Amino acid sequence: MSAPAPLLEVHNLEAGYGAINVLHRLSLVVNAGEIVTIIGANGAGKSTTLNAICGVVKTRAGTVRYTPSLEVIESFTAANAGGWWLRNTGIPQHLERVTRKLARVPLALGGFLARPCGRALAGFARRGDVPRLEPDKRYTLNRIPAHLIVRLGVSQSPEGRKIFPRLTVLENLEMGAFTRTDPDGVQADIRKAYEMFPILEKRKHQPGGLLSGGEQQMLAIARALMSRPKLLLLDEPSLGLAPQIVVQIFDIVKELNKQGVSVLLVEQNARMALKVAHRGYVLETGRITFTDRADALLHDPRIREAYLGE
Amino acid sequence: MFELFAQSDAAGGFGQYLLLGLVLGSLYALIALGYTMVYGIIELINFAHGDLFMLGSFFALGLAVWPMDVVTADAPTAAIGATVLLMLVLTPLGCAGLNVLTDRVIYKPLRTSPKLTVIVSAIGVSFIFMNVGLFWRGATPIKFPDLISDANLIPGTGLRFTWKDLMVVAVTVPTMIALTVFVKFTALGKAMRATAQNPAAAQLVGINADRVIAATFAIGGALAGVAAVVYGLYIKSVDYQMGFQNGLYAFTAAVLGGIGNIPGAVLGGLVIGVVGELGKAYLGAKWSEALIFGILIVILLFRPTGLLGARTREKV
Ligand SMILES: Nc1ncnc2c1ncn2[C@@H]1O[C@H](COP(=O)(O)OP(=O)(O)O)[C@@H](O)[C@H]1O
Ligand SMILES: [Mg+2]
């Protein structure tokens, strides 16, 4: 076996809220193609870890490194070529058109004024939202603004139904694809989401906030998939779901993983999590106390006692 | 019977007050939208919004004089039309720019500060704007050019609906429809709603909160600018304190409708406009404001979230 390529490397991370530090020198690795799980008691800092990776919680020390594939970089750069305004308003396209017209103004007829103005407009039009990214580079996620991280292929389904309550189910899914510029692909993925969770199609025009807890959980997962992530962070995806749907969700996780999506899974249901995962980390009050292959953890007496209720 | 006959005149009067109330109400609604949108997204009651509206009307006043010197209704119709159009384009642009600049310079550095800090700064900005207005045009009310005819468009109905009234409706209604379409159907509009509903989740899906907030201030400012032009042309008098009173009415409208709720702000504006006019007509001007705030208090007692506020409860 060749040495696994690390996709996500968290190194000596510290993060917290206000005066308290929640994570203490936390380090973990997710290799490309892996499902990795973090198990730990309530309040251990699992959600904080995922949020620190996504930039929603500010880190205080340490690094979060991410090494996406060349393909991700290319799509990322292409998607950001025109910047936010182009993708959302189309104004820069109009400016480009104006610019081309201005360039045709003869110098004698004020072209000496019009052309520099046109060039300035074009500069504005092309101004990207993001730093230029190069392949073969490791990105330090905790130095990138939170809203750009999803564009690098990292997507989170947050804990506790953090959907948009007054957007419809369909709009929630569309927002999941906010960074994408391929409308046809987005439509296809919305259909896929409906296939995965038929209940979402039945409720597509209802506000997300009116769904039941379990349905909201499905919506949160479907929304996270809409950005076509390369690294999927799942925070307690089975919370509040009926057992057969939990099984279905873990099947989906395995299927996505087969398609090449790496997964970092946080679960209360440690047994289920360890069954699908390749490796696991045990988190206790903000510190990783234990790590091993998932099947080894599943049979470790200490883990069985503390987390599997035996 | 006598009673009925005696009332027939008053009934026409009632229709008239209702009409006037709706016209004024749509003006309040435009201003209220600026309060409600900004509140919806960063939970800031932007006290400076009314004063931005005042500065907008001063700016529009300047445009009446500057390119064509159109200051009376005697000017050629084309010149009046062009001037009004110019006001309706440049004033919203100016107000939007000023609002975005204020956010960038004053509110944005305070984004993570306690809410109270930001609100106190907004009050400060309100005073700054008001004093800029005072310095700019002085303390006495200024006549705004009377450019639009007062001729009645529906003679013989017992009601008065003038070109001026039509102008208010013709500007405010399409503006509000455009805003609704924008917020409901465009990517940026949806991103705004998403950010207002859950800022952290919005970041997770890749929405840049700073840009969305800037866009919100721009739109709120532009609406205040439109309202400023319409107000000037309709009321024909502007002064540096007009932002305070109208801002207060508009803010009340936003709260009445459910602050943060866009249709609520429109509804609240119309209610306040109508109640204010009816109150003035039947109870006297001095009771009108008491009536407005009395109704506000009663509605908030029974519906603390306002008329249309929080229709779907967030399950937290
Ligand atoms: N927004 C917050 N503000 C303050 N403290 C928080 C916040 N979120 C979590 N915490 C605290 O951080 C610790 C870790 O929380 P969390 O990461 O949610 O744990 P887990 O997901 O493992 O249950 C807990 O002690 C919790 O009380
Ligand atoms: Mg958690």
Instruction: Residue B200: list chain A partners with CB under 8 A.
Output: 51, 56, 158, 162
Q: According to DSSP H, which parts of chain A are helical? A: 46-54, 70-79, 83-88, 91-103, 111-126, 146-149, 169-176, 183-196, 198-202, 213-225, 243-258, 270-276, 294-299, 301-307
**The predicted structure's pLDDT at residue A154:** 93
Specify whether A106 is located in the same domain as A142.
Answer: no
Please give the average per-residue pLDDT across A170-192, as a whole number: 90
pLDDT digits (tens, 9 = 90+) for B300-309: 888 888 888 7
A135 with A190, same domain: the answer is yes
pLDDT at A47: 95
Nearest CA to A158 out of B205, B315, B123 is that of B205
Q: Is B18 exposed, middle or buried (0-12, 13-18, 19+ CB in 10 A)?
A: middle
Residue A219 confidence (pLDDT) above 90: yes
The alpha-carbon gap from B189 to the nearest alpha carbon of chain A, in Å, equals 10
pLDDT at position A152, please? Answer: 84
Bridge partners of residue A64, in order along the sequence? A10
Top pLDDT among A284 and A78 is at A284
For A77-113, write each residue's pLDDT tens digit.
Answer: 665 555 555 555 556 556 666 667 777 777 666 667 7
pLDDT tier, A131 (very low <50, low <70, confident <90, very high otherwise): very low
Mean pLDDT of B196-202: 91
Residue B112 pLDDT:
84
Domain span including residue A155: 8-77+130-307
- Compare B263 and A3 and report the one with higher pLDDT: B263
Q: How confident is the model at residue A195 (pLDDT cuts 50, 70, 90)?
A: very high
Q: Which residue has the higher pLDDT, B15 or A182?
A: B15
- Residues A211, A259, single domain; the answer is yes
* A121 lies in the same domain as A54: no
Ligand 1: atom nearest CA of A16 is 12
Q: Is B185 on the interface with A (CB under 8 A)?
A: no
Is B312 in Cβ contact with A88 (below 8 Å)? Answer: no
Residues with CB under 6 A from ligand 1: A 17, 22, 40, 42-48
- Quote the pTM value: 0.83
Query: Residue A94: what pLDDT?
Result: 61
Q: Do A110 and A245 reside in the same domain of the chain?
A: no
Rounded to the nearest angstrom, the distance between the alpha carbon of A284 and the centre of ligand 2 is 13
| Interface ipTM | 0.81
pLDDT for A72: 67
Bridge partner list, A234: A157, A265
Answer yes or no: are the C-beta atoms of B142 and B71 closer than 8 Å.
Answer: no
Q: Which of A129, A163, A175 sits opposite B208 (nearest CB)?
A: A129
pLDDT at B311 over 90: no
Answer yes or no: do A149 and A262 share one domain. yes
Q: Which two tokens stand for residue B253?
A: 């409208």
Residue A241 and residue A265 share a domain: yes
Residue A135 has pLDDT above 60, yes or no: no
Q: Is residue A276 part of a domain?
A: yes
Are A6 and A231 a contacting pair, CB within 8 Å? no
Answer yes or no: is pLDDT of A76 > 80.
no
In this structure, of A127-136, B69-78, B92-101, B118-127, the range with the lowest mean pLDDT score is A127-136
- Same domain? A22 vs A43: yes
CATH number at A173 reads: 3.40.50.300
Same domain, A153 and A135: yes
Pick from B33, B7, B22, B2: which is nearest to B226 by CA?
Answer: B33
| pLDDT for position B5 | 39
Residue A46 CA: nearest ligand 1 atom is: 22
Answer with the one of A91, A110, A125 that is the final residue of a domain: A125
Q: A262-271, A299-308, B117-126, B259-268 — which is least confidently predicted?
A: A299-308
The answer to whether B113 contacts chain A (CB < 8 Å) is: no
Of B295 and A74, which is predicted with more confidence?
B295
pLDDT band at A254 (very low <50, low <70, confident <90, very high): very high
Residue A2 lies in a domain: no
Q: How many CB atoms lie within 10 A of CB A195?
A: 10
A137 and A107 together in one domain: no
Residue A119 and residue A219 share a domain? no
The residue assigned the tokens 């292929």 is A153
More confident residue, A87 or B206: B206
Q: For residue B178, report the distance from its CA to the centre of ligand 1, in Å.
A: 42
Lowest mean pLDDT across A79-88, A268-277, B124-133: A79-88
Coil, strand, or helix at residue A52?
A: helix
- Residue A57 has what DSSP assignment? S
Element (H, E) at A231: strand A231-235
Residue bearing the bigger pLDDT, B299 or A49? A49
Calculate what percentage of chain B has a pLDDT beyond 90: 56
Amino acid at B130: M
Instruction: State the helix-helix crossing angle for B242-257 and B49-65, rounded to 10 degrees.
Output: 130
For the segment B184-191, the average pLDDT, to the nearest whole number, is 87
Distance CA B22, CA B131 (A): 31
The residue behind tokens 């080894």 is: A296
Same-domain check for residues A48 and A194? yes
pLDDT at B315: 34
pLDDT tens profile B24-45: 999 999 999 999 999 988 888 9
> Which pLDDT does position A95 carry in this prediction?
65
Residues with CB under 5 A from ligand 2 (ion): A 46-47, 159
Distance (Å, whole) CA B23 – CA B32: 14
Measure the CA–CA gap between A13 and B59, rounded to whole angstroms: 53
**Considering chain B, what percentage of its residues have pLDDT values greater than 70?**
94
Q: In the prediction, which pLDDT does B126 show?
A: 96
pLDDT at B6: 38
What confidence score (pLDDT) does residue B285 get?
85
Q: How many domains does chain A have?
A: 2
- Residue A283 phi/psi, 5° resolution? -110, 125
For residues A117 and B165, the model is more confident at: B165
What are the residue boundaries of the structural domains of chain B, listed by start? 5-245
